[in-house]
Amino acid sequence: MTFENNIKKAIEEIKLKNYSEAKEYIHFAILEDDTSPETHNLLGIIAEFAGNLSLSGKHYRAAYALDPTFKPACNNLERITMFSYRLNRKCIDYGENYDSIH
């Protein structure tokens, strides 16, 4: 399976709340490209849904460090660091519409 397909399947599994399956697809994507911000963004989303904002922030920051122009990670990091943060699944930026997916 290609990097793009692994990312798409991971997003589908996250939306279905199948986080362990999503992590498997993410890990396959990392094997294809270990410098991709998309993988860390998705791991951040999973950590956020698990209630671990510290870990999600680390993943969003890692995605940003890998590619500062990757807007989904920037959007997610900005959202979780807001004073009035409240988890809203509709505001999560999966990066599906970001053009630089490999």
CB 101 within 8 A of CB 4: yes
Among 30, 23, 24, 25, which residue's Cα sits nearest to residue 46? 23
% of the chain with per-residue pLDDT over 90 = 75
- Across 23-32, 45-54, 77-86, least confident range: 77-86
**The pTM is what?**
0.85
CB 47 within 8 A of CB 59: yes
Q: What is the pLDDT of residues 77-96, one digit of tens each?
A: 998 888 777 777 777 888 87
Angle at 88 between CA 52 and CA 43, to 5 degrees: 40
Distances, alpha carbon 79 to alpha carbons 20, 37, 82, 93, in Å: 24, 17, 6, 10
